[in-house]
Amino acid sequence: MLVDDFEKSLNKALIETFNIILKYEEDSLKKLVATPVTIGEAHIIEAIGQQTGGEATVSEIASAMNVSAPTATVAIKKLESKGYVKKSPCVKDGRKMLVSLTSTGEKIERSHRFFHSRMVRNISSQFQDNEKEILYKTINKLNNFFQEQLET
């Protein structure tokens, strides 16, 4: 395969894989969660649920999501209006607001975690042990590449 052919094929594969993963996740969330939630909302809910104590400031959420604080603020307000998160003053510093999940948000977070667990298990079952190691190393290289691009 010529370099140009490889790059075209790789580009096509990356785009198709990215899009199909998003579509698969979207379709699965619709089946798992009775409440309408977007992929972006599910990922913000996940980021909050993963914080120590299940609560975080908007800045911490923005950092976990690799987005700006204003972007996170808008998303949190939308999630709050839908009843998925709630804000409360920080006990240690009353100037800060902590964001935590409501019971509906917790259900979404559990469903989303279940989806990812099942997805990874199903993907893993398609590979031999040596292939799993290669896949893991390759995905980590891709991740590191994109992380470096964000930092430059």
pLDDT one-digit tens code per residue, 100-126: 999 999 999 999 999 999 999 999 999
Kindly report each contact of residues 137-144 with a partner whose C-beta sits within 8 Å and lies 24 or more positions away, as own/partner: none
Owning domain of residue 136: 27-142
Task: Give the phi and the psi of residue 34 in degrees, each rounded to 5.
Answer: -70, -20
CB count within 10 Å of CB 56 equals 22
7, part of any domain:
no
**Strand intervals (E) in the chain:** 55-56, 85-89, 97-101
Contact between residue 39 and residue 22 where contact means Cβ atoms under 8 Å apart: yes
Q: What's the pTM value of the predicted model, to 2 decimals?
A: 0.84
Q: What tokens does 48 get? A: 């909050």
Q: How many domains does the chain have?
A: 1
pLDDT in tens, 14-71: 999 999 999 999 898 888 888 889 999 999 999 999 988 889 999 999 999 989 999 9
12, part of any domain:
no
Check which CATH number belongs to the domain holding 31 and give it.
1.10.10.10
42, part of any domain:
yes
Q: What tokens does 80 get? A: 């709050």
